[in-house]
A and B are shown apart, each in its own frame.
Chain A
Amino acid sequence: AQTVTQSQPEMSVQEAETVTLSCTYDTSENNYYLFWYKQPPSRQMILVIRQEAYKQQNATENRFSVNFQKAAKSFSLKISDSQLGDTAMYFCARLVRSGANSKLTFGKGITLSVRP
């Protein structure tokens, strides 16, 4: 099954603190792509960060970084120096390929609240 699992429905963090959002996935592929998307209350879907499975180095985008554990099929998102604007729903997603086509399979999401 091509599933993406986010087992934590919600988390809360104090402003300026660090928080880690968990995600696990299932795949039989050796090379694949993983993403974290942010959905603020306005309900846009904003790409936060992506990880290519064949790259051993964890992806980093400013305050956002991932801890990619390929053997464990784990892909967690770390947000450093949390800001009030980070309050949003966060979705983990995997790109599922079918020939030359691809589609995103999303987890259920986690609601992150940043407290002032």
Chain B
Amino acid sequence: EPEVTQTPSHQVTQMGQEVILRCVPISNHLYFYWYRQILGQKVEFLVSFYNNEISEKSEIFDDQFSVERPDGSNFTLKIRSTKLEDSAMYFCASSVWGENQPQHFGDGTRLSIL
């Protein structure tokens, strides 16, 4: 069964550094998402992406965050200047269509900010 893949599985970064989290969505999916889960808390929506532009973003997704689909397969989340509170598990997800379709999640990237 096709899967969403995320790399790296664990990223350790110094505060203030830039970090890029990578995702390869399922190949025939058109909608892409990033979610965040701070340890012990619920999963929160960050951003959705369709047709090479952001469809919707949450209040968490401030100017420090950006997303990009640099080629036909990768979907990246960049945090420009990381803060301690950015430490979390980041999940990429994709769906065939945006509306009413189940979202398939990757295994997540654990981001630790020191």
Tell which of A35, A44, A104, A107 touches B35, judged by Cβ atoms closer than 8 Å.
Answer: A104
Contact string, A30-51, partner B, CB cutoff 8 A, digits 1/0? 0001010100001111110010
Q: Which of A45, A52, A97 contacts B43 (CB 8 A)?
A: A45
CB of A44 within 8 A of CB of B102, answer no
A107 — which chain B residues lie within 8 A by C-beta?
Answer: 42
In the complex with contacts A43-B107, A43-B108, A45-B91, A102-B98 CB distance below 8 A: yes
Q: Is B89 part of the contact surface with A, judged by Cβ < 8 Å?
A: yes
Q: Per a CB cutoff under 8 Å, which of B35, B56, B93, B107 touches A98? A: B56
| Chain A interface, DSSP helix/strand/loop, else mixed | strand
B65 at the binding interface (Cβ < 8 Å): no
Bound form: Cα–Cα A110–B110 in Å: 21
Q: How many A-B residue pairs have CB under 8 A?
A: 64
Q: Verify if B28 is at the interface (C-beta below 8 Å from A).
A: no
Interface positions of B from 45 to 101, Cβ below 8 Å from A:
45, 48, 50, 55-56, 89, 91, 93, 98-101
Per-residue CB proximity of A59-97 to B under 8 Å, as 1/0? 000000000000000000000000000000001010101
Q: Which residues of B contact A97 (CB under 8 A)?
A: 99-100
- Chain B 21-35 per-residue mask, 1 if CB under 8 angstroms from chain A, else 0: 000000000010101
Let me know if B103 is at the binding interface, CB within 8 A.
yes
Instruction: Say which residue of A33, A37, A43, A44 sits within 8 Å of B100 (CB atoms).
Output: A33
Can you list 19 A-B pairs, Cβ within 8 angstroms, ordered by A? A33-B100, A33-B102, A35-B102, A37-B105, A43-B89, A43-B110, A44-B108, A45-B43, A45-B91, A47-B105, A91-B43, A101-B50, A101-B55, A102-B31, A102-B48, A102-B101, A103-B48, A106-B44, A107-B42
The 6 closest A-B pairs by CB, nearest first: A45-B105, A101-B55, A103-B45, A106-B43, A108-B42, A101-B56
